[in-house]
Amino acid sequence: MDFDTVAGELYGGDLAEFTSARNAAAKAAKAEGNAELAKRIQQLRKPTTAAAIVNGLARDDSEQLRELAELGDELRDAHTRLAGDDLRALTRRRGELVRRILHELPSMSDTVSREVEATLEAVAADPDTAALALAGRLTSVAHQDTDQWFSLAASVPPATGQRPKKLVEKAEPAKPKRDHRREEEERARARAERERLRKEAAERDKERATAERDLVRTERAAEQAAARVEDLRERLAEAEERAERAKTEFETAKAAFDEADAAATAAREAADAAR
């Protein structure tokens, strides 16, 4: 038994049986005398439903999952180069690829679908998450700021108050002048609205991340409690077995004593009669 084999079987198995299978594997490792391996196995976390679905893509050797991870590298490179056009094109590709992957997955609830979408976006945003996903070892995804690489795509070039040269050359004198002040005010309002929505989304994401951390923490506590109960049950079974053996030994010893006592009594009586 080795850790990688056990981990592969656990994360590739039925999600509903993860905890019981993990505890059984840890117990088997402990029975083999490998306490360190048993401890490592016991510490493996049960994946969320969304993480398990993405792990399934890795086990199926999904080309789209690999493409999504590679796209994340391209996005980070484009961000480093401040290549706005590349960022916009790559952002579109990311959205299309995530939607394509979701479309090809089996039917799921809206909640799970949103969690899977967030997980896939995290694969594109974070190289560590991508590595875990490609290895099929993803357990959960804390909040990832998936827009961190795409800030240039939403930027608005400053207004110069001048029309492009070609438009000036082709402009018709009879047309009214553009109200640049009003346009600038509209752009400012649009920017303010985008900023408000961005902050609101960030707040919702923060709340979701906190809820997910609480879920993982409480789930881990429940798993530890279940493992403790299982350990106590094993100890109780061993104690009951020892008690049963002691009872049998006592009964055997008592029978031997009664037999010896009867023989001694008979011998005394015989001796008294012979006087």
> Tens of pLDDT along 224-252?
887 788 778 878 888 888 888 888 888 88
DSSP tag of 149: T
In contact, 54 and 121? CB cutoff 8 Å: no
Q: Name the residue type at position 265.
A: T
pLDDT band at 178 (very low <50, low <70, confident <90, very high): low
Rounded mean pLDDT, 147-157: 31
What is the predicted pLDDT for the residue at 170?
34
Name the average pLDDT for the chain. 79
What is the predicted pLDDT for the residue at 38?
92
Give residue-wise pLDDT tens across range 249-267. 888 888 888 888 888 888 8
What is the predicted pLDDT for the residue at 206?
77
Q: Which residues contact 133 (CB under 8 A, 6 or more apart)?
A: 54, 55, 57, 58, 65, 69, 119, 123
What is the predicted pLDDT for the residue at 153?
32
Distance between CA atoms of residues 161 and 210, nearest Å? 46
In contact, 74 and 87? CB cutoff 8 Å: no
Tokens representing residue 142 in the block: 């804390």
What is the predicted pLDDT for the residue at 168?
30
User: Widest CA span of the chain, in angstroms?
Assistant: 155
Among 54-63, 127-136, 193-202, 251-260, the range scoring the smallest mean pLDDT is 193-202
pLDDT band at 179 (very low <50, low <70, confident <90, very high): low
Residue 164 CA from chain centroid, whole number:
51
Please give the angle made by the CA atoms of 98, 100 and 104, to the nearest 5 degrees: 120
**Is the predicted pLDDT of residue 52 greater than 50, yes or no?**
yes
DSSP tag of 17: G
Q: Which residues contact 44 (CB under 8 A, 6 or more apart)?
A: 7, 10, 22
Tokens representing residue 68 in the block: 């999504």
In contact, 45 and 138? CB cutoff 8 Å: no
Q: Name the residue type at position 254.
A: K
